[in-house]
Structure 1
Amino acid sequence: MAADKVDAAAELDFHHPFTPYDVQLEFMRAVYSVLETGDGQVGILESPTGTGKSLSLICAALTWLRNHKRGKYESSFNAVADGMQGEPDWMIELALKRKREELTRTWEEREQQLNKIRQRERVQEDKGRGNKRQRVDHSDSDRKGAVDEEKEFLISDWHDTQDEDNIEGEATGGLSKETRDLMEKVGLGGYKRREDEKRVETEDEIKIYYTSRTHSQLTQFISELRRPTFPPSIPQKTDGGKDEQGEREGEVVKQLPLSSRQKLCINPGVARLGSLSAINDRCAELQQSKSTKCAFMPDDENLKATHQFRDTVLATLPDIEDVYRIGKEMQVCPYYASRTAIPGAEVITLPYPLLLQKSARDALGIKLEGNVVIIDEAHNIMDAVANVHAAEIRLSELRRARQMLGVYVKRFGKKLQGENRIMVAHVGRVVESLTEFLDTTLTKGGNDGIADTNLLLKARGADQINLYKIIRYIQESKLAYKVESYVAHAEEQASDPASVPRKSTPVLHTLVSFLTALTNLSNEGRIFYEKLQPTQSGIGNADIKLSYLLLSPTHAFSSIANSARAVILAGGTMTPFEDYTAHLFPTLPPTKITTLSCGHVIPKTNLCVWALGSTLPSPTHSNALDPFMFTFSQRSDKKMIRSLGLTLLNVCSAVPDGVVMFFPSYGYLDEVVAVWQTAEPNTKSLWDRLALKKTVFRESKGGSSDDTLQEYTQAILDPPKEATTRGALLLSVVGGKMSEGINFSDRLGRCVLIVGLPYPNSNSPEWKARLEYIESSTLSRLTDSGTDKGRAVEEAKQASRDFYENACMRAVNQSIGRAIRHRNDYAAIVLIDKRFGTRQIKQKLPKWIRSELVEGSQYKGLQGLMGALSGFFRGKRGT
């Protein structure tokens, strides 16, 4: 990265609403430098939870964006001057003045109109949002009386149009051809100008696309976005040419949240369908229908309301709930009307799936070229990419699909004409072939493995059927919606009125998702089967499922990496960084990647980090006596498990309030608890002794984490008066419900203990396939680049080992991060395994943990740990 750009970032005012800490300044400068350099730059940035990461991202990115816009305006003035070379100075000055006045007038008119809308919104908020005009969607309001089954459920005539653009459409929430035509017709594609409407002019300028994992995280980000004030995007000059920016009021950030129909549909008859796929299908069907239209779809009649929706959204920094409310108040569909706000938005927030799938981006009209992408909570981005491309289907679902098709064909078979009859039969053959494959596999030995894709569609001649055409047919004909709606209707009509009607599950939509994955098979993906016991299947009988797994995110993420001006991956626990560079940006040179691991904002005295290698100290500091080594082959040793229990008992004696211990898996947690609950001769069990120190809770695989967390919190913050314990102990699992998204701040997490290294099961079919793929793809890349074969083989094996180890350490780091949540928080972190003291593992801990890990602590035994804990918490009394 150019040194002058780094220096420039160092001198900037980031408009942070508070006085930023040094680590926040370091983080903001790194973000700004990546965005300013552009040209496909990537930033992989780690800032621990509690350091104000979201606000730092906002301040750095918006400061850069406003500066960039101001620079573009200045460039336009320079272009005017350059075009008038040789003209008298007074003519150049006059032309520049007119250009500046024109830009300023346009900007002021837009801001004044948006400000009026903001003021009107505030008045409405003060008065309450009273009675609003309600338009009733007669086509989908709750029906009374008999249903015209043929009109409601019979598939319309279908002809294969070979509209390749629509292959990926509705299954991913995309726009159908009919929708695109309609949007263009009413001006939502080309934004037709109406003479009788004064509207805010917008330009499709550079944007920041911000994405996070959940809607709640996006809502929190928008709340933070409302804190700072940024200077206007247009420079204001006096006649003397001096900048008056400081004298102007800040310009409100224009932000737009995007989401799915499921979150934004205001048509009660459609929204009540529940599932995203059913809502998508019914929405598209209403657009195609000539007799029943959705009353909220933007059209010529409500174009003014659509533009008012756009201006209101851009004026008010809304979250998803606000967008839904604004659409409902203006009686216009917020899902479609949101597209009119995209050109004028500066920041667009959206959940992972809408950004990570190219088909979803295309459907929403999102163009990443030249724009900025910020991915927050990016520690799980590779899993997120895999998840949005994953698909699975169960034998029980296929049997249900076959039953539903049978019911539908029995009722409407004679009414199906032409291609409909052929295509429904083809869908049935595909379902029967997959069913037969799973039926056969269920009776064979082995609980899981890789499925032979050549056998999936071998039965009933299904391998001769064009799957692309099947997918297109189900999407365009709305077969899934029609079949499932009719079967649900038939079951409701046939059921005992006193009983609850059985609701159909969207199994045909599940089939489409799986077939789409099947047609996208490449060397990056595999199909797996897994047998499910009755407790897993949820249906009371053994079941089996097929799953598509993306082995590598490289190709799927490349459309983002190759398009955006800059990509920022930010998170609280991004260490180790190597996986992101190797598997998301494998072709980028090191000069285009910036990595940063920030320290914490807490004082060093607020953190105690210890690696416990054994209960007994080692005199030689080389090999610990009776080591804690929780490898898969050694961790069942009962002596070591009892030593672990005695260690925990001592820790609970020294640590006030809350203690959280993370185990490698639910199975091992159960195994350890069973040993602790076994009483020794003439003594209480370790479990009972722990219960005398603290109220003990444990996470269960199928239990409610909310209930457990609430009870744990109450035992610490509001214990019963008669309680004899001092605080609470929570036994949890790395990668479980308590290891991510849960805050054990302050008294809830004064000590976090990690037991062993939670390596994934390398013998599982999924991990075997993943590691083999990484090794083979790395070997191929190195060989193609001319690397010596022997060296290439060794480097490929090392890449596979690193990926495996990094997956383990990311999970550890995420669990560690549950403890320290703000500047004044303090906690002890105890890493219980001899391997935590090795250089290889230590270097994969976050910088703020690694720097405070007591050197040689793995050799000092339990006595050394207790001395450190006692001194640490003694110094915290009264704080």
Structure 2
Amino acid sequence: MSTANSQQKNRHGDGDDDRSDAPQIDFHHPFTPYDVQLDFMRAAYGVLEAGNGQVGILESPTGTGKSLSLICSALTWLRNHKRGQYEASFEATAQGMQGEPDWMIDTALHRKREELARRWEEREAQMEKLRARERALEEKGRGGKRQRFDGEYDGLGRGKGKKEVDEEAEFLIDDWEDGGDGLADDDPLSQLSKETRELLAKAGLGGAKKIEEEEAEVEDEIKIFYTSRTHSQLTQFIAELRRPAFPPSLPSELLSSKPGQEDAPTKETVKQLPLSSRQKLCINPSVSRLSSLSAINDRCTELQQSKSKNKCTFMPNPDNLKQTHLFRDTVMATVPDIEDMHRIGAKLQVCPYYASRAAIPGAEVITLPYPLLLQRSAREALGIKLEGNVVIIDEAHNIMDAVANVYAAEIRLTELRRARQMLGVYVKRFGKKLKGENRVMVAQVGKVIESLSEWLSGILPAKGNQGIADPNELLKARGADQINLYRLIKYIQESKLAYKVESYASHVEEQESSASNGKPPSSSPVLHTLVSFLTALTNFSNEGRIFFEKLPGTSPDIKLSYLLLSPTHAFSSIATSARAVILAGGTMSPFDDYKEHLFPTLTPDNITTLSCGHVIPPSNLCVWTLASTKLIPPGRALPAALAKAPDAFEFSFQRRNDRTMVRDLGVAILNICSVVPDGVVVFFPSYGYLDEVVSIWQTAEPAASNNAKSIWDRLAAKKTVFRETKGGSSDDILQSYTQALLSPEDTAPSPAGAKRTQTGALLLSVVGGKMSEGINFSDRLGRCVIIVGLPYPNITSPEWKARIEYIESSTLARLLPDSSDTATAPHDKEAMSREQALATAKQAARDFYENACMRAVNQSIGRAIRHQNDYAAIVLVDRRFATDRISGKLPGWIRGGMVPESAGKGLPGLMGALSGFFRGKRGG
């Protein structure tokens, strides 16, 4: 997430530049925007204004105020669009009264305008009262955190003593009848209990009716759905949303039409609603204390049943309708974040998760994390409609991975054995009380578990540590392949079988541990994991693959993983429903993958792309390709000459273990550290390769080198060295690295008591690791970023083999839709067509593979420059960075800062460039 530079001056004008071809739009930016911000806002505004399924793929480097630019462009468009709709409604009224006397038309329009103005003014006055109330409470320090209690809780959140467990009432499955065919119900709230749906209906919050049939007490206005990867990023966005002020959504003449009201409000607070899961919003301590989201969801619905002794009273119902509506109005008035939602709900004693539904119709901006937007079932459960609305996806460089992660699932053999054990304990206690469908369905769950267990047990001793599993083979044992998985999944979800079985097993284990004075075992939601995996098995077989992987350790284990190979189908419901979709990020390059795999059916006219420059002056950036240690004679074609040069840096799989090249890399970094002040961050392709490089550097130098010290020791003498490790804490390393740069007196002494000569710190990290995304290496923390090699994914892994095969086959099917096989056609013309199609398909797969690598590189590069006055050098160590194919996939601002012909100037040229660059920054 990025914000505008803090040194920008407060805005006094309209922020437009004087270019005659630029649309004169006041974006209400709280500062004087940079030119790149104006370009970004105009592009985003244009996408939203065009509508009709338009897509914008917009790249703005971190530090250029991307989030604020998104807010200003989107909210300016939204308010302008609303005013346009009001004016259109007046015109429609006048058109509908054609033929009537003018005085009647004028009277009708006057009344309509007065009514709109009155309703707006009353609403804004109420909002202001609520805002004042919230400010008063904050000043008194009444805003608090979640209250915790170590004992048991009842459904009201009150503490009580140790409860007596009524096993039959608490753990026994209710009678179940399947009213459908096992497919997803048309009612998105069908998985809620009957009582809950009735309460929601009475409270005007939906219920059993379909979303499109719900009564709208508040006018359902056009909305902006903003999503990002994490809750912390959403919280930062909401903080930015509070900065600008936007004009009212009503035409200005309606607000000052009454005598004496010329000073009517000229601003209107943005009505923003953050949506989240029960895990973040639940205020019932007996539910929120549970460890897993699945258990929380099941326990929540359990407490809504009519027979529940501890029925949750926080649920919106006719008795607390006033609090529910007050919750809605308070949320709309205050631009809250998730913590505010929880606090307001707790204060009003109404569930924020369910009560937030009442605020959806009147919201202008709805923020939500990736999973709640990307899953159709999650959108429907929350009452989210994308039709006619706007979707903005921030930090969208990882959107394809995010789609795959939402639909991913895995399960281990040990978890299946644990699930079978828990189910056995449950059936032993309650088996005789299970009747009808319950008995049949529980038996089917057991068969599925046993079939998966038998397949994995058979694979465990076989050769090979990983591979692709045939989904048709997984459920062959015990007749499990005859089971309707859709119906079984529906049964587990509606009966809450997973929650009841796991709760009872945990209860039994607690009793046993208490009797033996032992420590109670930790309970993992293995049956919920099973449901997720079974759901993945029901996806289209051509869109995903199932893999097995044997896990290292003293106790042999093996896991099954489902991987979604293509995000196209999963994302299509968003792309085809929304008025417009904007993908925004600091490093979106290269763009082709988003077009091909998220929006394959859109024409170029429907997609707008923009790669903004940076806000820093050109003199604050030095980008260098270090392709060789030596100078390449002028006049030679660089890529070809470098490919043949024996001393060229090429960290490909074939050459990366060349010890001489690794030593040359160490010498190059040693030289860089001698001229770069403060912090130097080096990114390697993988943790494994970083370990190999460090091992070579720590080895004593050959006698011929005239250096008694190893490269590692010489680096440590220049700068304090830190190293990221796989599985290690990135926070601890970053804190130590920062302390070494900002508080040199606190760093450890040099080895062997030598005199300290370090100036700054060196951090060895990994592309795609914890330091390569979301970490801010601004100012002294990152004066130089070095990228070593190209971090291509492991193409020999089963996952990447499957991805490559899928892209090739799907591309071929698109190019040759009438083709049934890949054999050569009988006629030369047809054979050439197929040959070209095969070549195109292979190139598409190669591009996807290469783009995945370059997105990771671009993310790592983006860690350095973070604001207008920042400066840094970026060194790309590999001859392949000098090729047009690779350099063309770098962000525009990086290509713009590239020193011409740097790849041929070797290490001496780099040292001269760095010396001059940093000498200029020191002013001498």
Which interval holds the TM-score relative to the shorter structure? over 0.9
In structure 1, how many angstroms separate the alpha carbons of the residues matched to 2:741 and 2:266?
48
How far did residue 487 of structure 1 move? 0.9
**Are positions 1:566 and 2:585 aligned together?**
no
8 Å CA contact 1:528–1:546 kept in 2: the answer is: yes
- Aligned-partner SS, 1:288: coil
| Matched residue, 1:537 | none
**Are positions 1:783 and 2:816 aligned together?**
yes
- Aligned-partner SS, 1:99: helix
| Matched residue, 2:83 | 70
8 Å CA contact 2:198–2:207 kept in 1: the answer is: no
Aligned partner (choices 690, 693, 702) of residue 727 of structure 2: 702
Aligned partner (choices 624, 642, 655) of residue 663 of structure 2: 642
8 Å CA contact 1:175–1:363 kept in 2: the answer is: no
User: Cα gap change, 1:465/1:132 in structure 2, threshold over 3 Å: closer, same or farther?
Assistant: closer
| Matched residue, 1:270 | 287
How far did residue 290 of structure 1 move? 2.2
8 Å CA contact 1:132–1:329 kept in 2: the answer is: no
How far did residue 85 of structure 1 move? 2.4
In structure 2, how many angstroms separate the alpha carbons of the residues matched to 1:648 and 1:239?
65
In structure 1, how many angstroms separate the alpha carbons of the residues matched to 2:157 and 2:498?
20
Aligned partner (choices 101, 104, 112) of residue 99 of structure 1: 112
Aligned partner (choices 114, 125, 128) of residue 112 of structure 1: 125
How far did residue 466 of structure 1 move? 1.4
Q: Structure 1, residues 190-230: CA drift from partner, whole Å, max 9, x if none?
A: 899xxxxxxx9631010000000000000000000000000
Q: Structure 1, residues 594-641: CA drift from partner, whole Å, max 9, x if none?
A: 000000000111000000101111114431341001100110000000
In structure 2, how many angstroms separate the alpha carbons of the residues matched to 1:103 and 1:500?
65
**TM, length-normalised to structure 2:** 0.90
| Matched residue, 1:673 | 694
- Aligned-partner SS, 1:549: strand
8 Å CA contact 2:190–2:208 kept in 1: the answer is: no
| Matched residue, 2:389 | 371
In structure 2, how many angstroms separate the alpha carbons of the residues matched to 1:133 and 1:737?
29
**Are positions 1:345 and 2:363 aligned together?**
yes
**Are positions 1:521 and 2:521 aligned together?**
no
- Aligned-partner SS, 2:542: coil
Counterparts of residues 531-570 of structure 1 (less than 5 Å): 531-534=550-553, 540-570=554-584
In structure 1, how many angstroms separate the alpha carbons of the residues matched to 2:891 and 2:542?
33
Q: Structure 1, residues 768-824: CA drift from partner, whole Å, max 9, x if none?
A: 110111111111112239993332222111111110110000000000000001111
- Aligned-partner SS, 1:248: coil
| Matched residue, 1:662 | 683
Q: Give, as a single letter, the amino acid of the residue that structure 1 aligns with 2:59.
A: E
In structure 2, how many angstroms separate the alpha carbons of the residues matched to 1:130 and 1:55?
27
**TM, length-normalised to structure 1:** 0.94
How far did residue 139 of structure 1 move? 8.4
| Matched residue, 1:402 | 420
- Aligned-partner SS, 1:97: helix
Q: Structure 1, residues 686-715: CA drift from partner, whole Å, max 9, x if none?
A: 000000000111111111111011111101
8 Å CA contact 1:659–1:748 kept in 2: the answer is: yes
8 Å CA contact 2:117–2:254 kept in 1: the answer is: no
Give the alignment's Cα RMSD to 1 decimal. Answer: 2.5
| Matched residue, 1:473 | 491
| Matched residue, 1:804 | 849
How far did residue 140 of structure 1 move? 8.2
**Are positions 1:577 and 2:588 aligned together?**
no
Deviates more, 1:172-181 or 1:369-378: 172-181
**Are positions 1:504 and 2:523 aligned together?**
yes
Alignment length, in residue pairs? 861
8 Å CA contact 2:294–2:528 kept in 1: the answer is: yes
Q: Structure 1, residues 342-378: CA drift from partner, whole Å, max 9, x if none?
A: 0000000000000000000000000000000000000
User: Cα gap change, 1:445/1:307 in structure 2, threshold over 3 Å: closer, same or farther?
Assistant: same
**Are positions 1:222 and 2:238 aligned together?**
yes
Deviates more, 1:122-131 or 1:441-450: 122-131
User: Cα gap change, 1:630/1:245 in structure 2, threshold over 3 Å: closer, same or farther?
Assistant: farther
8 Å CA contact 2:784–2:875 kept in 1: the answer is: yes
| Matched residue, 1:593 | 607
| Matched residue, 1:731 | 764
In structure 1, how many angstroms separate the alpha carbons of the residues matched to 2:549 and 2:445?
24
In structure 1, how many angstroms separate the alpha carbons of the residues matched to 2:507 and 2:167?
9
In structure 2, how many angstroms separate the alpha carbons of the residues matched to 1:185 and 1:526?
45
| Matched residue, 1:603 | 617
| Matched residue, 1:197 | none
Q: Give, as a single letter, the amino acid of the residue that structure 1 aligns with 2:811.
A: T
Aligned partner (choices 852, 857, 870) of residue 825 of structure 1: 870
| Matched residue, 1:196 | none
| Matched residue, 1:746 | 779
8 Å CA contact 2:145–2:343 kept in 1: the answer is: no
In structure 2, how many angstroms separate the alpha carbons of the residues matched to 1:418 and 1:139?
36
8 Å CA contact 2:238–2:336 kept in 1: the answer is: yes
User: Cα gap change, 1:324/1:806 in structure 2, threshold over 3 Å: closer, same or farther?
Assistant: same
Deviates more, 1:51-60 or 1:139-148: 139-148
User: Cα gap change, 1:634/1:183 in structure 2, threshold over 3 Å: closer, same or farther?
Assistant: same
Structure 2 residues not aligned, in runs of 5+: 1-18, 148-152, 210-215, 750-755, 820-829
- Aligned-partner SS, 1:374: strand
Deviates more, 1:474-483 or 1:175-184: 175-184
- Aligned-partner SS, 1:725: coil
Deviates more, 1:174-183 or 1:446-455: 174-183
| Matched residue, 2:743 | 718
How far did residue 421 of structure 1 move? 1.6
| Matched residue, 2:752 | none
8 Å CA contact 1:751–1:827 kept in 2: the answer is: yes
In structure 1, how many angstroms separate the alpha carbons of the residues matched to 2:394 and 2:132?
32
User: Cα gap change, 1:177/1:383 in structure 2, threshold over 3 Å: closer, same or farther?
Assistant: farther
Q: Give, as a single letter, the amino acid of the residue that structure 2 aligns with 1:589.
A: T
How far did residue 169 of structure 1 move? 9.6
Aligned-pair identity in percent equals: 73
In structure 2, how many angstroms separate the alpha carbons of the residues matched to 1:645 and 1:169?
62
In structure 1, how many angstroms separate the alpha carbons of the residues matched to 2:145 and 2:585?
42
In structure 2, how many angstroms separate the alpha carbons of the residues matched to 1:182 and 1:223?
34
User: Cα gap change, 1:248/1:704 in structure 2, threshold over 3 Å: closer, same or farther?
Assistant: same
User: Cα gap change, 1:772/1:245 in structure 2, threshold over 3 Å: closer, same or farther?
Assistant: farther
- Aligned-partner SS, 2:252: coil
| Matched residue, 2:307 | 290
**Are positions 1:39 and 2:57 aligned together?**
no
8 Å CA contact 2:195–2:306 kept in 1: the answer is: no
In structure 2, how many angstroms separate the alpha carbons of the residues matched to 1:132 and 1:587?
48
User: Cα gap change, 1:145/1:111 in structure 2, threshold over 3 Å: closer, same or farther?
Assistant: closer
User: Cα gap change, 1:606/1:175 in structure 2, threshold over 3 Å: closer, same or farther?
Assistant: farther
8 Å CA contact 2:722–2:763 kept in 1: the answer is: yes
User: Cα gap change, 1:426/1:810 in structure 2, threshold over 3 Å: closer, same or farther?
Assistant: same
Q: Structure 1, residues 724-769: CA drift from partner, whole Å, max 9, x if none?
A: 4111101000000100010111100000000001111111111011
Deviates more, 1:787-796 or 1:569-578: 787-796
How far did residue 236 of structure 1 move? 3.0
In structure 2, how many angstroms separate the alpha carbons of the residues matched to 1:150 and 1:81?
67
List 4+ stretches of structure 1 deviating above 6 A.
6-9, 130-136, 167-170, 238-247
| Matched residue, 1:863 | 908
In structure 1, how many angstroms separate the alpha carbons of the residues matched to 2:115 and 2:485?
56
**Are positions 1:159 and 2:159 aligned together?**
no
How far did residue 180 of structure 1 move? 2.9
8 Å CA contact 1:9–1:33 kept in 2: the answer is: no
In structure 1, how many angstroms separate the alpha carbons of the residues matched to 2:302 and 2:146?
26
How far did residue 246 of structure 1 move? 9.5
In structure 2, how many angstroms separate the alpha carbons of the residues matched to 1:357 and 1:378?
16
Q: Give, as a single letter, the amino acid of the residue that structure 2 aligns with 1:542.
A: P
**Are positions 1:59 and 2:92 aligned together?**
no
8 Å CA contact 2:719–2:762 kept in 1: the answer is: yes
